[in-house]
Structure 1
């Protein structure tokens, strides 16, 4: 073990040498790599071991360190091992470009203007802080790693005083740096569990010889009671583990979720099912992996697919090429040990007959699609070849020497190098028509060139730091770029930025690409995510997670339904572009959708809009008949009667209208009485009565007789502002109303005010009764939901919190177990009856989600938005989530190829298999 590992860029070698010398002079044992050679697998393993066995890692920050692949990998290794990180600044860097793990730590400045001795004293003090804690951290990590590398053999676990010291160290680590690594925690906990199990086994034998028959019964009762509590605790622990895994290993999270729900199903406990259905939903929402290609023994730097999209070629840090069948995920032939240096770039020709690679030594090599070399390698650049592209039949290359070069298919140079960049060229791209070339450089610019090397526009400048990736849109009208400043940027061909930068990544953006449709941009980053954006810079969905290392490359397949990525974790992964629970989107109205209602008789639904129309739809989103021109000034609310034969609508024209559903025509004359817009309507359960709520200048609730279309009694008065929502209880004996005055009121059918519910602050937009319980839910302007006991008028539990804007609509599922709410934050959220969110929010990117309704069978939710769009969300029940999860799991053939699975992971896989077998048998 060593005191310190020094991570530095080769250009700062002189300073690193000086730092090494003075630290050794201070009695420190220092690990530093002086070899200026291309990285190999053995070299990478040596670096990894050096970091793991060091008490602290010092990072010599400079612009070149930030741009260095290898330096960032060293940081990633240090973070993975939870090492003490000590950033020192040798040459000025931009704070925004520094990895958050280092940016959040106080820097020690060793710039020329600073006193070296003073800075050294600060560094020594930092190295010596909590030194005993740090030394134990290193020793424990080494033992934990040894245990893991020996297949988690129990003989390598801690015992006796070693275990006691480790548990004491963990308990005291909460406020110290560095924090324990996950592997250390697992190692100590497993040691404790194994020791406890051994003691129980021995103790159980001796105890069994002594107890009497009576005490045996008592012991058995206590045992089963304890087992019930233990099983419940273990279930909750597994659910928590699923949620943690979804952030880093979604496939593992999905497998564990299936295992966990299998336990709850076999227990035949509805409560057990409630515990895990949220984790199951999160698992299928967050897991997009379709397949994983395994076989590379080094980090996968480059990938390219054949023009027909059926094959893939990949290249790694060892200089190995591999060919794959994308339909099956199987390798094609044997790996080609092509070169002895890392391959940084690879491209497939448009005619499908040639593959070209670029390597760390500056050479370009041509290959057949069978992996045979074509001629000799071409020395193309001084320093590495970082990027390749085909422009027609020409090869385009970009390198560390800051030049862009063209080559013909035989490997002959075409013209002179394109010069202008002042630092390394990291990416090149060809326009769809082959007439323009884009290059991205760490000098902070993107340049657009003609095939003769002439600039087509002024350099594109805007990134705060180097640019690492560039791509043309399919129509050739735009360029997208990704940079060291963690942003994605969109440009026109005149060099003008389009809108604001796309912000979200937590590390540099290594790869950008357009979908074949040109409507989606994908970006990949060392933050281990791939993100999908629309052209306005909105995230289309949550980031795609799963890689366990830097994501270096991401490309769309020609069909656009799959993304392929490569990573330092030595894998290539295929991802579903579409979410498994993606909504069906319908452009339905020309203005905000105010209300949605299902017809329980034929299971169609209707939507009402501020554009004045009501439209009818089937459950696939196909329109039924022409729109009803219902209310000239806009429709605010609609409701079906229980038999589905009649629809009532209320509008800004202060009128109620009744409609014959089958004939699609109005019944009689409009119902008049309100003095302002009608904001809400509802039928009684027996269909004989309608309730309506009036706007700001009316503030009343009115009852109407359906048979003669006459008002019943006097208006209900009491609210001091607009009545936004009205509804009947399931037995029809009371009415609930919600108002902008921030109250909910209960009334009997004679208009007597029963009670007032208070708890919201900025108005109440909607209320709904649970169909099976005497419970009401209300949606507030402050972004929260509250449940109430109808009999006592008391709140039930804590408010439901999660929305980031006012809640516009809320409803219960037909079985009363699930609540759906929508908000101005652009989301649909699902909740259980205890206020726990189910899965992640369903984002719609259409502004306010203004309306929501459940299909009578609970499988489908329909939402409406302020731009007139309908979203149909199918498969919204746990049984369908389980089926989807099993479909995903059964497609993961690569699980059988993984050789480093822990006992817990193997248990989860077996449990998931049993769950899916149970589901198959039941269906």
Structure 2
């Protein structure tokens, strides 16, 4: 099995912090999720996370006007220049300080960053390769406190910067004679946002206390005059003037124009601003901080978000209220409007929520939210199309692996979910929780149809379902018992006693009626379902058992223990067949408050989750570390180690202690700097209405809570502190030949095709293993000769052809052609493939997943067409039954036509309105 797994996608986290951006076409939202960036395609209903990661959480994202480049800045001041076309990093840069915001000029030539109490303007990187992509042009001083926001004029001549010192500064991007800088006051709190009016220098400023000031400028943008050069630049110009008489006359004219006469200065003068109006959002007197704002200059639409979760839509400059709605009780951290002004994106960092709202129809385009607390467990559906996750917040979410969206959330549990499992049909989810219930959910009707309970209240720590889907078992954390229920009746069948510690893991044998239970009492017990749940074997361990799992063929059992070991057992003979020492492979990081080094703290860490690969030859292990390890079971060696995160904003990431944080009074991490603030918004002490003054801010610790291989073997998923990470095989970038020699070349393959020697061409193509060449070779075979070619293929190549067909179903439009290939291969080689069921199972499941997805899509389309045809027939029959004596254009006919129009209007949504990215 190949292990060229690469990071593919991040699910379960849709927004953390930072600013949201719409792409130029307005169809996608760019959202920062921790130290990564996710692009949500709202038209095609897909989400994809870019294959890059910063060292800290992302603070701000700046998008170029053409949508090709993006500048991503993290909390430490490190910046990445990103190409959104090829999804790769072009340049690294460090701003030497925390950056609050970054904004490109509308012409794309420059960009401004706000850092500390100053603003810096850089030349924007071009499309050609440069040694240093970021070249500093000017540094602007003026504000006395931190700068917060930036906005440019439409012609890129000026920009405005807001500050925490309650002032807004207007700077010229060039050396203007009548505008060097201009400071605006009038506010009593920090500036949150400032916006220029379209094709004007008129300005709107918004402060945190909910005040809006409208400023009018007496100068048009085209009236700004360039300042005449002085010093060595003027001397250089004078030297150039002496070169020729004609050039001298022209230079004199330009100099006369550049040097404004006193009379002209009196007429034009300097740029001046005057305040036209001042409006307040909090008219009722409630203390509600304004936290985010966005303005669309063409539509004159102002969107403001507040700390209470309320957002307002106003029309400027009249300040007419259009909408006032509430998202949640958490603060709105970021607001963005797309280019057409139809969709508004809201980000709530407290809930990890991302909303896209269409304000004209008052409907959601996107409504996604991850788990409020950390994810604990996950499970793949049998076809690998869905992933179910359970979290400490008591929610159970189901994610589509193709689109990356959550399409259903179950909230019946009242406490943290500890385990999730799919039945073999793939339409039932079984979950266990600390609230003392085990629930079964139906994915057809999206409801909780079974609730399993124990005779006395207990907390369930794990759950397992047998291969038939009829038996449900759950382990108790406080009573040390294993409970068995019937899925059909919901009755409690048996209570298995014998363990002397909390149950940490359960797993059914996929091939036999045997249940394995792991416990903290240093034993793993095997229970025989056919023999009245009698204990057949008790496997003695050297330490507490933390996880247990069977190999896909049921012939081997793996157990993770507290002493960082993975032991392998033969369940038939109760004999240990091997062990892996994983203490040094965990390589845990050092916490900020640890008194001991990372090397010594690793002695107390262990693997907490295990999973066999689809072919059973390797095992995946993870725990309280940022590493996930893949071991070869037979050789007992480490095959590959994946670093799931490099985010230093999480705890337990550093290997060495940072001496700069040590003072004579102790570690700086002990000082809670944001104790008087909630999400960056200060809470007033007198008459406080919201916020817990005793709450502490802490850094979450990096850990892996659950691991699962996809049944197809193409990818694996891990629930971590950062979310649900998916790693998959990137076949496009991988050159993996098979039995390659010098005779295998693309020229010989095409020569065999021209000679119509299709079998030889296919064998050579699979030995070279180039995807485009494989597609060309298979599609060159006539459909009526597929059966003959299939029968002539050796058994060794049948599995490779099936894998290629499965991957082709996801991208190709030749459905019938590839279905014929699949049918003929399985019909001809079906009997021979039964002997290699273990190795072929991942390929067959991958094939089933691809065909099932097309079945769902085509069946929806067929149903939709069938309903439309039935409706058209009903309308035609209704019109055919009209009285022939009735004149055309009568009142009844008009009523019928109105009814038809109404029906068409109700049906006109199409299937896309049913399957949206709503959860």
**TM tier relative to shorter chain:** 0.3 to 0.5
Give me the TM-score of the superposition, normalised by structure 2: 0.37
